[in-house]
Amino acid sequence: MDGNGRWAKKRGLPRQAGHKVGAETFRTIATYCKDIGVKYFTVYAFSTENWKRPPEEVGALMELFRRYLKEAAETMYERGVAVRVLGDLSPLPQDILDLIRETDRIADSLGPDAATASLCINYGGRDEIKNAVRALAKEVESGEKRAADITEDDIAHHLYTAHMPDPDLIIRPSGEIRTSNFLLWQSAYAEYYFTPVLWPDFKTSDMDAAIEAFNQRNRRFGGV
Ligand code: FPP
């Protein structure tokens, strides 16, 4: 959800104002995805590197999660979308962990086939792979598994996205052309779409344009 800060700056507003509109865009686009049949929609909300931002901004983002997580889960529940949170949640404050638990409970009540909108919080692709390696190393240490038997599926099953398919399309808004540690393992065969639109300005028509571009791609998955 990149470009919130620049969106706010262009309007002479504090960066947090951009994050607030960005949170609304999340709800709009997540709902749209469900309506057009995209079963999994995943956004990057807070990276393992975002803790380096000024404490006021980190605090404001935590406040945003506090304020919008339950509200988002409830609105999305009414629209039939399960909100999930992915990432290393261990350093988050207890009240946010409680909200995430509540979000999970609401999402569970929609059943396993519901469309899912996931928010990656304290997520980092490398950190995720490191944690998967540690978990597998433990299984090897305890004799439960042989190192030579570790498969790609074993790794995938130890990622936060274990219950989800790999992404087909990754959209990066705001004009930056890099992956920034997002879904590193899962994106092996994803199609990328870069757009200069700042996330708070991202509309359903921008989603249509991204999907249209995706539909023009010739996906070969390493074949011919
Ligand atoms: C990147 O823009 C955006 C973030 C670091 C935060 C995104 C988080 C939200 C919108 C909150 C969502 C919460 C819910 C519950 C839906 P940036 O600050 O890096 O923008 P810039 O590159 O223009 O400075």
Which residues are tagged catalytic?
A: 2, 50
Domain positions in the chain: 4-214
Q: Is the minimum distance from the CB of 23 to ligand 1 under 6 angstroms?
A: yes
pLDDT of residue 175: 98
**What phi and psi, each to the nearest 5 degrees, are found at residue 119?**
-110, 120
Asked whether the beta carbons of 22 and 33 are under 8 A apart, the reply is no
Instruction: For residue 150, give the 3-state DSSP assignment.
Output: coil
Reference 123, options 65, 176, 82, 198; nearest CA is 65
Query: Is the minimum distance from the CB of 72 to ligand 1 under 6 angstroms?
Result: yes
**10-residue stretch averages of pLDDT, the chain, 224 residues long:** 97 94 96 97 96 92 91 90 96 96 94 96 98 98 98 98 97 98 98 98 98 95 88
Per DSSP, the three-state class of 43 is strand
For the CA atoms of the chain, what is the radius of gyration?
18
User: What is the distance in A from the centroid of ligand 1 to the CA of 20?
Assistant: 8
What SS3 class is residue 173?
A: coil
Residue type, 216: Q
Name the packing angle between helices 94-108 and 55-78 (round to 10°): 20
Domain 4-214: CATH superfamily, name plus number: Decaprenyl diphosphate synthase-like (3.40.1180.10)
Cα 208–Cα 30–Cα 10 angle in degrees, nearest 5: 75
pLDDT at position 72, please?
A: 87
pTM of the model: 0.95
Residue closest by Cα to atom 14 of ligand 1: 23
Query: How far is the centre of ligand 1, averaged over its atoms, from the C-alpha of 71 (Å)?
Result: 17
